[in-house]
Amino acid sequence: MTVENISVNKSFGGWHKQYSHHSKTLNCAMRFAIYLPPQASNGKKVPVLYWLSGLTCTDENFMQKAGAQRMAAELGIAIVAPDTSPRGDDVADDAGYDLGKGAGFYVNATQAPWNRHYRMYDYVVNELPELIESMFPVSDKRSIAGHSMGGHGALVIAMRNPEAYQSVSAFSPITNPVNCPWGKKAFTAYLGRDMTTWAEYDASLLMRQATEFVPALVDQGEADDFLIEQLKPEVLEAAANVSGYPLTLNMQEGFDHSYYFIASFIENHLRFHAEHLVK
């Protein structure tokens, strides 16, 4: 596999790097970013937190805006941030911001034309970790986190693969996509109109039925414009109460959907993951 280094920046004694590679899963070139803490330069394999971003984002939003590198360097955790969808001139797209490029929703599309490229679930669960663990001084201990659409992806991936992740966290996740406009639009396009196929990508439905648990932390701003119509954290909390899922849900007064919110609480999330990754 050809992997091209695009950029390198030193940060808090570690290194932020961007790479491009051809993804067999997605049938296109993909970009990802990785932050390697200073501990990774000393011959030590460090654990990895995978970060999934939200609608319209790329690998750059979290790395540039969240301010996570200082704490990742202190805790000795690598952070990997993939793009949010396939890219390229021959990749299917939509005029709306909430479907197509930048809006992969971390599902494996089954419907044309999306199924030719849009297999972000398999990419994040299988291909990307295999690449990261083969190229960099990291261990196979993983946790996963995300924001909005990426929070949806992180929760779903952790619950469907509890053996692979030590912990999961999310900011403002889309918790019940089968019952919100963003989810209905994306799932109809990517998965078809048979709603029974949607359930495997709905965090609230998965959490309600869960019998294996991954420790979960969710922060949600009370001033989020998308709170009522799109995000529905109360549905996730109700599901956790049914199954006894180890979910901590924090409703944060005055905070919105932006990276100002994420930057305010990212230290808490990294410390949460470190409790499970660095034992």
Catalytically annotated residues: 148, 224, 257
Beta bridge partners, 142, equal 48
Sign of the dihedral through C-alpha 206, 210, 216, 221: positive
Q: Are strands 78-82 and 28-36 parallel, antiparallel or unpaired?
A: antiparallel
- Helix (H), strand (E) at residue 160: helix 149-160
Question: How many CB atoms are located within 10 Å of the residue 34 CB?
Answer: 23
Angstrom CA distances, 206 to 134, 159, 239, stand at 31, 7, 8
Instruction: Let me know if 37 is exposed, middle or buried by CB neighbors in 10 A (0-12, 13-18, 19+).
Output: buried
Q: Which two tokens stand for residue 270?
A: 């990294």
Residue 172 makes CB contacts below 8 A (sequence gap 6+) with 54, 147, 148, 151, 219, 220, 221, 224, 226, 231, 257, 261
Q: Which two tokens stand for residue 251?
A: 């409703």
